Structure 1
Amino acid sequence: MSIIFELYLAFKYINSSNEAEALFGITTLMEGIIGAIGLFLTAPLTGHRLRFKPEQFQKYNSHTIFRAAIILGVLLVIQMIFQYIPLTIRDEDVAIAIVFAAPAEESFFRGFLMSFFLYMSSKTPTKKIRFFSFFSISILELMGMALSSLLFSFLHVNYYGNMNLLVMVFFSGLVLCIFFWKWRDLTALILAHLFLNIWVVGKYFWMVYF
Structure 2
Amino acid sequence: MNSLHFVTAGQGPLVVLSHALGCDLSMWDGVSAALQDRYTVLRYDQRGHGLSHAPDRPYSMEDLAEDAAGLIRAHAPGQPVHFVGLSMGGMTAQALGARHPQLVRSLVIANSASHYDEAARAMWQARIDSVHAQGVPSIADGAMLRWFTPEFRADVHAGGAARTAALRTVLERHASTPYAHACDAVARIDLDAGNARIACPTLV
Question: Scaled by the length of structure 2, what TM-score is found?
Answer: 0.27
Whose Rg is larger? 1
* More strand by percentage: 2
**TM-score using structure 1 length:** 0.26
Greater percentage in helix: 1
